[in-house]
Structure 1
């Protein structure tokens, strides 16, 4: 586990407040403890002088963006029944105009013909309370080049299961990201798209903390809390069953260098990060 010092934590909080002032749309329903309740995995800050770890806050999710890779390092969001509703899928993929001036904006067509999907980090179907919420998930800063079978089968199954858990009276804190270089899409292997402006990762991962609905969420995580960690190759030959790709949070931290649950009490953090989930998958 890696811990930010106090100065770093205060800087993150200040930067987050500044980032929120640039949010594109107003939130429909506030998250109970905020999208970063489990911690800021990479210590990202809203400072354009740090382009490889730029904190970008939306009412619907928060992410750390890597300017030179054109994808997020990670995206973190809260999922509870209040975020789910009747709003239809908007499919309005578009560049994110909230990026700092002068930064390249990955466009809706940047993945076209590549053999990779515009894979959501925070899923469209996790944000259906309002049209604005759903539309926010189609910003290209929320996308990663994802092998179609990975996106449409394996990952889709995991996302649907998360919503099932939320519908059963739970709230979830979800962190998704990627690491490594090069994936295998429908048209074969690639390391970049869009003339080198968008990196194709080798692995796509997710950590899901499952809690009964309540307050002071990080403090309620105990050694027995269900935490699901998944690490999938970004490969079009992937098994559609996501359960076989479960791993430990510790292993993901070793692969990424992040501290994924830094706000969780230390004793509980040690226990849940070392355990491979064996719970149901549907």
Structure 2
């Protein structure tokens, strides 16, 4: 009952929130990037600020200089031949009162500019790919975490798409302090950017179809991982599988809030045991 009430309040807010908060004009292909729900009920709070772009949706924390979470849809409609733009830059669509993180804030830190929505998930057009390089989509990520375990998981997600699936992906982070190539750090840029301690991702796997949320059942494959933000992680992402329930306990979020409660109770308690490559 509480979850249903929250959904009603959320959609009431969303009607005006989409106008009040940041937007990026474009026409998105099939799939609602926020279909599975607004995990933190993001709105206008500066620590939980709702940002909708054509390519993804996120909750931004202006005090940490990073997203709390980012949500996106991935299907073949999003994939094409656009090259990697590599145009890391401040997100000037954020409110003027926010510190707009710069690419140079990460220079020499020992942490990668870690994408939430990967560049390779948005290759339909140059503009779609470029949107992934906004610093509002970036977190300080340990290089081995980003380039090994995380890259392997991202590649596997695109493999699932090539096999005829569409995915709904929510990625986030929590805690403070990680270990990059230059050792342990809690913040960058004189405290303007918080280094997360843990990085998580939830992936809902569906065969292609319509009415996506309605098609999520108790047998739907849901992959949840939670990794330390460390250079010492395994390159096998499957070693970090957990439950959605466990991530919700750590973050306080309701990650799949638009899915019926009875289905949530099953799929959020299950640790994925499917293939990893």
| TM norm structure 1 | 0.95
In structure 2, what is the Cα distance between the partners aligned to 1:51 and 1:172? Answer: 29
- Equivalent position of 2:11 in the other structure: 9
RMSD (CA atoms): 1.3
Given candidates 223, 230, 237, the residue that maps to 1:228 is 223
- Whole-Å separation in 1 of the counterparts to 2:221 and 2:21: 31
Deviations 1:39-98 (A, max 9, x none): 0000001x2xx1000001110000000000000000000000010010000000000000
Match 1:210 to one of 194, 205, 208: 205
Counterpart position of 2:116? 121
In structure 1, the partner of 2:91 is 96
1:62 aligns with 2:57: yes
Matched pairs, number? 275
Spell out structure 1 runs of 4+ moving beyond 3 A: 17-20
Structure 2: runs of 5 or more not aligned: none
The alpha-carbon deviation at position 268 of structure 1 amounts to 1.1
Deviation, 1:19, is 3.4
* SS of residue paired to 2:149: helix
Tell me, which stretches of 5 or more residues in structure 1 are unaligned? none
Mapped to 1, the partners of 2:131 and 2:266 lie a distance apart of 35
Normalization by structure 2: what TM-score? 0.96
Distance 1:163 1:19 in 2: 30
Q: 1:142 aligns with which of 131, 137, 141?
A: 137
Deviation of 1:125 (Å) = 0.2
Q: 1 CA distance for matches of 2:234 and 2:193? A: 25
